[in-house]
């Protein structure tokens, strides 16, 4: 499995999101990561389905929509209709996670489940065989530009082991928070294959170069035998 780079537009200029997406797509970004926050589950408010719909008009890469909201069941249809190709929901807010994952898949969207830094891997034990991907938060969600939590490396390895044991070896692990040229190789070595990066890409003067550099650093850490790109 190759590494996929998913620039997070949270750190881009919100007055010029179309241009931000075009720049990272030119640099070979695989996905566009969109952070949806509701001011309840996390202490920040960002964007909703109308903006996702507008991004869908300009993006050529799939939209990877991360729902940091208290009641995702209420909105998954709207985000699917807006053009999300991947939807991830936090296990911390969902008492009926199995139902939610099936509902996302029924809409033709890839279903991901997200673990906050303090949420144990065992919370995925009964759902690991059903998900299309797992997103491991390596910072507490809500803001870009935070420091990577080092314990996330062993957590990624534990999630990988659980997915494999659940017969879901094809499901990739995405990681989000504090990913940069230093942390990218470490999380890839631990088993992450989709790398979200906001500040490390859009916080630089040259997001295209930052996207390419991040891919190079991440790909160099792939275990021998993985397909190069």
Q: Which residue has the tokens 């640099």?
A: 27
The reply to whether 186 sits near Zn ion by the rule CB under 5 A is no
CB of 90 to ligand DX5, least distance (A): 10
175 closest CA partner among 164, 165, 186, 166: 186
Which of ligand DX5, Zn ion, none does residue 199 bind (CB under 5 to 8 Å by kind)? ligand DX5
Our answer to whether residue 35 is catalytic in this structure is: yes
In the residue annotation, 71 being an active-site residue is answered as no
Shortest Cβ distance from residue 164 to ligand DX5 (Å)?
A: 25
Q: Where are the alpha helices (H) located in the chain, listed in sequence order?
A: 17-26, 49-58, 76-82, 97-106, 152-165, 183-190, 199-202, 207-219
* Residue with Cβ nearer Zn ion (117 or 129): 117
**Residue number with CB closer to ligand DX5 (32 or 121):** 32
Task: Give the integer Cα–Cα distance in Å for 197 and 177.
Answer: 7
Closest distance to ligand DX5 from the beta carbon of 196 (Å): 5
Given 64, 132, 176, 180, which residue is catalytic?
176
In the structure encoding, which two tokens stand for residue 52, read together? 């996702």
Q: Is 64 in the site for Zn ion (CB under 5 A)?
A: no
Nearer to ligand DX5, 61 or 66 (CB): 66
Contact between 66 and Zn ion per CB under 5 A: yes
Q: Are strands 4-7 and 173-176 parallel, antiparallel or unpaired?
A: unpaired
Q: Report residue 55 as tokens.
A: 């991004």
Contact string (CB under 5 A) for Zn ion, positions 23-42, x = contact = ------------x-------
Q: Which residue's CB is nearer to Zn ion, number 66 or number 186?
A: 66
In order of 36, 127, 134, 135, the CA distances from 165 in angstroms are: 31, 12, 14, 18
In terms of Cα–Cα distance, which of 27, 82, 36 is closest to 216? 27
Minimum distance from residue 165 beta carbon to ligand DX5 (Å): 27
Chain contacts with Zn ion (rule: CB under 5 A): 35, 66, 176
Residues noted as catalytic: 35, 176
């Amino acid at each position: 499995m190759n590494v996929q780079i998913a620039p997070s537009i949270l750190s881009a200029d919100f007055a010029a999101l179309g241009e931000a997406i075009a720049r990272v797509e030119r640099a070979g970004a695989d996905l566009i990561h969109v952070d949806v926050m509701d001011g309840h589950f996390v202490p920040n408010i960002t964007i909703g389905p109308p903006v996702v719909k507008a991004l869908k008009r300009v993006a050529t890469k799939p939209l990877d929509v991360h729902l940091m909201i208290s009641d995702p069941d209420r909105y998954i249809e709207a985000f699917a209709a807006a053009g999300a190709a991947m939807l991830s929901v936090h296990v911390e807010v969902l008492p009926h996670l199995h139902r939610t994952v099936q509902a996302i898949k029924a809409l033709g969207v890839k279903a991901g489940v997200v673990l906050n830094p303090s949420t144990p891997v065992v919370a995925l034990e009964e759902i690991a065989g059903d998900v299309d991907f797992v997103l491991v938060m390596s910072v507490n969600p809500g803001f870009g530009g935070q420091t990577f939590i080092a314990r996330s490396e062993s957590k990624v390895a534990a999630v990988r082991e659980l997915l494999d044991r659940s017969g879901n070896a094809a499901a990739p692990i995405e990681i989000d928070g504090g990913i940069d040229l230093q942390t990218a190789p470490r999380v890839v070595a631990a088993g992450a294959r989709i790398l979200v990066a906001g500040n490390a890409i859009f916080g630089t003067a040259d997001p295209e170069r930052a996207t390419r550099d991040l891919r190079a650093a991440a790909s160099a850490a792939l275990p021998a035998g993985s397909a190069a790109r």
